[in-house]
Amino acid sequence: MTRLIFLGPPGAGKGTQAKILAEICQIPHISTGDILRNEVAKGTPLGQKAKSYQEKGELVPDSLILDMMRDRLSQSDAAQGWILDGFPRNCTQAGFLEALLLDMHQECDRVLSLEVPDEVLIARLLGRAKKEGRADDTEEVIRRRLEVYREQTEPLIDFYRQRMKLTAVNGDRSMSEVTEQLKDAIDL
C-alpha cells in the first residue's frame, strides 16, 4: 500500500508526477485542483465559492476543502492507497488529515516536496496559461499564488520533517529524472 502527499509550489510538476506514480502504483491520484476545477466548470455551489477565491490568486478556505477530502478518501478506490496533490495546503489541514487518517486506520507513508526556483515556476505557469487558455494565470496572479504558497503551505515542510516523513526532490530537472528520483524516494 502506498499513501503519499505531494508538496510544492504551483508549477513544480506535482500533478504530472503524481499521475505517473499513481499509474505505476495503481492507486488514485487525488488532486484538489482537479476536483475544484471540475466543480467550477459544473457551476456547483462549491465551484462558485471556489472560483471567487481562485480569481484573486487566494487559496480556497479550509472548510470547503476538508469536507471534499473526507468524502474522497472514504471512497472505495482509495482504500488501497492514494497520492494527494494539493492537499494539505497548511498546517491546519495537515492536522485534520492526520486525525482523519487515524480515524480511518490509515497512515501517510511519505511526503514528497518538489523544489523548483521561482523564476522557473513563473515561466512554466505562463507557458501553461498560453497553452491551456487559462485566463487566471497572469504573471501578477502567479506571483501572488507563490506568495500565498510561501506564507501558508511552506510551513508544512517543517511539519512533515519533524514527523520524519519528508523527502525533498529537485523538481528543476527533466520529467523522467524527477520521476526516477521520486521512485527512489519511495523504494519503487
Of 63, 40, 41, 42, the C-alpha closest to 50 is 40
The one catalytic residue in 3, 72, 89, 110 is: 89
Residue positions forming the annotated binding site for AMP:
32, 37, 58-60, 86-89, 93, 134, 145
Concerning whether 14 is annotated as a catalytic residue, the answer is: yes
Concerning whether 161 is annotated as a catalytic residue, the answer is: no
The one catalytic residue in 14, 72, 110, 124 is: 14
Concerning whether 131 is annotated as a catalytic residue, the answer is: no
Q: Which helix (H) or strand (E) holds 180?
A: helix 175-185
The one catalytic residue in 49, 51, 128, 161 is: 128
Residue positions forming the annotated binding site for ATP:
11-16, 128, 173
Determine the length of the chain: 188
Concerning whether 145 is annotated as a catalytic residue, the answer is: yes
Concerning whether 49 is annotated as a catalytic residue, the answer is: no
Residue positions forming the annotated binding site:
11-16, 32, 37, 58-60, 86-89, 93, 128, 134, 145, 173
Cell numbers that stand for 182 in this block: 521520486
Other CB atoms within 10 A of residue 185 CB:
17
The one catalytic residue in 19, 49, 70, 134 is: 134
Of 100, 76, 72, 74, the C-alpha closest to 86 is 72
Q: Which residues does the annotation mark as catalytic?
A: 14, 89, 128, 134, 145
